[in-house]
Amino acid sequence: MSSVQSFPPIVGDGSRVLILGSMPGRASLLAGQYYAHSRNAFWPLMEALLGIDCALPYARRCDALGAAGIALWDVLQSCTRSGSLDSAIVESSIVSNDFAALLRQRRTIAGIFFNGAMAERSFKRYVLPDLGAAAATLPRIRLPSTSPAHASLTFQQKLEQWRQILPLLRS
């Protein structure tokens, strides 16, 4: 078991969509980058949806996300777990990030999308009860996890569901 910490949010002044994971996996933590595992579909999905080249250096991909109106963060600030799987998180160790502060600072955020079921469950349990009324009413949609551990859907099936972020980016 080890204690793990999430990264700061990637958020721009005009962010419209907030995409939330649960907690970075081992490869991401070692690299210091969101979705660093070579088989994670997140960056390929962003390339397919927004034209953000997966081969760009990480900092440029993050800048491109911000320019596209996407903010990225994790529901959990810290937790204890063994390995990289969400199922290995020790429930009693969970500390959530401060979403009330983020949403006060970034009033342009118009919707929250969860990268998988654990992110959604954790948000509902640890964040939603403490959010103000306005933030609590933001649309929230669970998308299929981009993790390589979630292999029940093909890339194309995930892509079709992830297209749900596009209308909020265009509004």
Q: Based on the residue annotation, tell me whether 40 is a catalytic residue of this protein.
A: yes
Of the listed 22, 40, 84, 147, which one is catalytic?
A: 40
pLDDT at 39 over 90: yes
How many Cα atoms sit within 13 Å of 169 on the Cβ side?
19
State pLDDT tens for residues 147-157: 987 778 999 99
> In sequence order, which ranges of 4-57 are alpha helices (DSSP H)?
26-31, 42-50
Specify the pTM: 0.93
> Which CATH number applies to 2-164: 3.40.1010.10, 3.40.470.10, 3.30.300.180, 3.40.50.1820?
3.40.470.10
Region 50-57: what's the mean pLDDT?
97
Q: Sign (positive/negative) of CA torsion 32, 37, 42, 44? A: positive
* Contact call for residues 28 and 82 (beta carbons, < 8 A): no
3-class DSSP state for residue 164?
A: helix
pLDDT at 83 over 90: no
